[in-house]
Structure 1
Amino acid sequence: MHEINYDKFSVLMSVYINETANNFRECMDSIFSQTVRPNEIVLVYDGPIKEEVDDLVTKYSKEYPDVITIVRNEKNKGLGLALADGVPVCKYDIIARMDTDDISRDDRFEIQLEYLKNHPEIDIVGSHILEFDKNKEDITAARKVPIEHDDIVKYQKKRSAFNHVAVMMKKEAVLKAGNYKDALLMEDDLLWADMIMSGARCANIDDYLVYVRVGDGMIERRGGLAYYKKYKSGRKKILETGFITRREYVETLAVQLIVALIPTPFRAMIFKLCLRQKAN
């Protein structure tokens, strides 16, 4: 680990019943292999979890008793409300997000902390991500995001300008914006809109700092009327913030409806050609 003095920070994650022991282990090992380790990991139980995952939590808690803080919810609330429970518990003003099945590059936290140290006006900083199925060495796609604040704000009106699992943000700015809220599948986009509306300054680092596990069913899950209705509900909540206009709301709904209803092979083609890039 590096000896440079950075601000102390927390990692915030939510774990739920579908998480597997192997994925969770890879995630946690990537955290504890960082060149700059977190001072705290806040792990929110979003309802019951698998016994083997719970056993791993116990194992890591014994190894790092002063690092891991557990917040337990007896019932599943959904990611947004689970994370909303975790934010106030975080001891430190800098919060790094991760999902429990993803893997951070070993210098991710150091790079983001260095960026925040050199750009104290920034409230949230993310990065590009690399997507994989089973092995992080076998990259299937990349998701690049805009870098500068004005470009991020413009992009966010139509699509997510951050990769949620790759952000590092300031707790004060999150709470000022009202914290995470219930917006199934769009809790991150709603938070970004709220933060921007409350004056947060944004940036992304032009690098791939997180490996994201997408799995075989990702494209299929983005289809169907059920998914579209969740998307529409989330976009409506963003509309109500005043961040987007009604025209922008209607335009994105029209595009999403088409994408949701076309056959899965065509949806996969759209993702490959329009929504994802090849890794450099």
Structure 2
Amino acid sequence: MIKYSVLMSVYKNDKGQYLEEAINSMVQQTVKPAEIILVEDGPLTTELYEVIDKFKNNYPEIFRAIPLEKNVGLGKALNIGLEYCRYDLVARMDSDDISVGNRIETQLAYFEKNQSLDIIGGDIEEFITSPNHTVSQRRVPCGDKEIKEYMKIRCPFNHMSVMFKKRAVINSGNYQHWHYNEDYYLWIRMMEHGCVMANTGTVLVKVRVGKEMYSRRGGDQYFQSEKGLQDYMLRRNIISIPVYLKNVALRFVVQKLLTPSIRGYIFKKFARS
């Protein structure tokens, strides 16, 4: 059986109950992880430490927490955590989502079938109160060519759903800080390094969302982060000037001019199903 690592990060604003559900969804996979690396991104709450201690005691052979003295942000935390992963196949997981039971089994089958594959993600279902009550779904393209074309417009992976080869990520510069978009920045660099990409076309993770999600996707900081990625792709000749202008104009309208409620409607109408 192929061995793999799970890479997670947690910080003080996360909830203990959600973290416990997220980790449980990984230890209960049909193909069990060989290790779970959880980066403690700065000091945490008592509630979170209690959950972490529970998994340390229950799964001492696979569970390892990596404490950081101060909060460094998701990109740097995952950069550090990936270095601790002992296995080349690494599954990302967020601290408040729930992976479906056969997620890893599905992804490993893709790696076994295609030895050149570097990263495989999947669709997500979003929920507010219960994972059994889906409010929206984000679908992403499946084939390598389609993913790389979609990359020029929007992020082609659901970050919490991906499994990748550690060496492919390291060779592409590893995770780096990019406000709100550490993952998108990494996928772009992986594409530049010729990595082979795929999505399953099936739901792999159930994602916890709320009304505040659409507020976070707006404002000047979010716009500048997204524009910065467009600037990067333009400089690297990944996108043309017309595509750049269209992408930036659309983001300016959605992220800076619209209210959160209207932004939420736009996302649900055009970016979700």
How far apart are residue 87 of structure 1 and its match? 1.0
Q: Deviations over 1:120-176 (max 9, x none)?
A: 111000000000112101111000000000000000111011000000000010011
Partner of 1:185: 180
> Does residue 60 in structure 1 map to residue 55 in structure 2?
yes
Counterpart amino acid of 1:264? P
Whole-angstrom CA distance in 2 between matches of 1:217 and 1:87: 29
2:238 to 243, 249, 268: 243
| Over 6 Å off, 4+ runs | none
Distance verdict in 2 for CA 1:69–1:248, change over 3 Å: farther
Contact 1:30/1:105 (CA < 8 Å) preserved in 2?
yes
> Does residue 161 in structure 1 map to residue 156 in structure 2?
yes
Partner of 2:204: 209
Distance verdict in 2 for CA 1:68–1:243, change over 3 Å: farther
Counterpart of 2:117 in 1: which secondary structure?
coil
Whole-angstrom CA distance in 2 between matches of 1:101 and 1:269: 24
Contact 2:52/2:65 (CA < 8 Å) preserved in 1?
no
Whole-angstrom CA distance in 2 between matches of 1:246 and 1:43: 41
After superposing the two structures, state which structure 1 stretch, 247-256 or 135-144, moved more. 247-256
Contact 2:153/2:247 (CA < 8 Å) preserved in 1?
yes
After superposing the two structures, state which structure 1 stretch, 196-205 or 233-242, moved more. 233-242
Q: Deviations over 1:193-235 (max 9, x none)?
A: 1111111000000100100111221112212223212322344
How far apart are residue 237 of structure 1 and its match? 4.1
Q: Unpaired segments of 5 or more residues in structure 2?
A: none
Give TM-score, length-normalised by structure 2.
0.95
RMSD: 1.4
> Does residue 130 in structure 1 map to residue 125 in structure 2?
yes
Counterpart of 1:86 in 2: which secondary structure?
helix
Contact 1:190/1:237 (CA < 8 Å) preserved in 2?
no
2:136 to 131, 138, 141: 141
Counterpart of 1:123 in 2: which secondary structure?
strand
Q: Deviations over 1:48-96 (max 9, x none)?
A: 1111111111110111111112222111111111101111110000000
1:72 to 52, 60, 67: 67
How far apart are residue 118 of structure 1 and its match? 1.0
Count of residue pairs the alignment pairs up = 272
Distance verdict in 2 for CA 1:242–1:175, change over 3 Å: farther
Whole-angstrom CA distance in 1 between matches of 2:259 and 2:172: 38
> Does residue 218 in structure 1 map to residue 213 in structure 2?
yes
After superposing the two structures, state which structure 1 stretch, 226-235 or 264-273, moved more. 226-235
After superposing the two structures, state which structure 1 stretch, 94-103 or 261-270, moved more. 261-270
